[in-house]
Amino acid sequence: MRRLTFILGLLLVNILVSCTISYKFTGTSIDYTKIKTISLDKFPIRANYVWSPMESMFYNSISDLYAQKTKLKVLKRDGDLQLSGEIVEYSQTNKSVGSEGYSAQVQLKIVVNVRFVNTKKHEDDFEQRFSATTEYDSSKQLASVQEELVQEMINDITDQIFNATVSKW
């Protein structure tokens, strides 16, 4: 009887040790044994309307995002994952008209075309456009709100890109 209890005890311990539960809180689905680097090209502005600081703001935001939320080493070129593209639209349009017949709200929009290559799993490759919009009161000059609004839209777009490339939600 003791021998049977001992054997059952060993089996129970063996089962408990072999069962593991794994949680990932980064939100990524990267196999770090295969994917170690990501290369990010500059995203030049190809839009009709150009605000020059936007290019560096975009690059800094996207490289910071991958550096902070993944274990990937960010490279200039030849990464296991490769991101390139261009800012294809930066525009503002009148969104609503006030009681005096003049514009009351202005909508600001950014569209970024992204090419993604996974050198280890080419079925994940894609080319896609990501966009974000925001509105501001037309009584304000664009120059006074531009940096804050552009950064807000860039954060939105870079989150969309991050989710499409490595989160796989």
What CATH number is attached to the domain comprising 84?
Answer: 3.30.160.150
Indicate whether 11 belongs to any domain: no
In this predicted structure, what is the pLDDT of residue 21?
Answer: 45
Rounded CA-CA distance 102/104 in Å is 6
pTM of the predicted protein model = 0.79
Q: Are 59 and 40 in contact (CB under 8 A)?
A: yes
Indicate whether 6 belongs to any domain: no
Which residues, including other chains, have CB under 8 Å from residue 84's CB and lie 6 or more apart?
A: 40, 41, 43, 114, 115
Q: State how many domains the chain has.
A: 1
Indicate whether 12 belongs to any domain: no
Rounded CA-CA distance 77/80 in Å is 9
Burial classification of residue 43, based on how many CB atoms lie within 10 Å of its CB (0-12 exposed, 13-18 middle, 19 or more buried): buried
Indicate whether 54 belongs to any domain: yes
In this predicted structure, what is the pLDDT of residue 61?
Answer: 97
In this predicted structure, what is the pLDDT of residue 138?
Answer: 87
In this predicted structure, what is the pLDDT of residue 22?
Answer: 42
Indicate whether 42 belongs to any domain: yes
Domain residues for the domain of 55 are: 29-167
Question: What strands lie across the sheet with 37-40, from one edge to the other?
Answer: 73-75, 37-40, 81-97, 103-118, 126-137
Cα–Cα distances (Å) from 98 to 23, 109, 135, 142, 155, in that order, read 52, 21, 15, 18, 30
Indicate whether 99 belongs to any domain: yes
- Each residue's pLDDT expressed in tens, for the chain with a length of 169 residues: 777 676 766 666 666 555 544 434 445 678 899 999 999 999 999 999 999 999 999 999 999 999 999 999 999 899 999 999 999 999 999 887 666 666 788 999 999 999 999 999 999 999 999 999 999 998 899 999 999 999 999 999 999 999 999 986 5
First to last CA, the chain: 52
Rounded CA-CA distance 58/111 in Å is 12
Rounded CA-CA distance 167/17 in Å is 30
In this predicted structure, what is the pLDDT of residue 25?
Answer: 43
Rounded CA-CA distance 57/75 in Å is 18
Indicate whether 10 belongs to any domain: no
Considering only CA atoms, give the Rg of the chain.
24
Indicate whether 82 belongs to any domain: yes
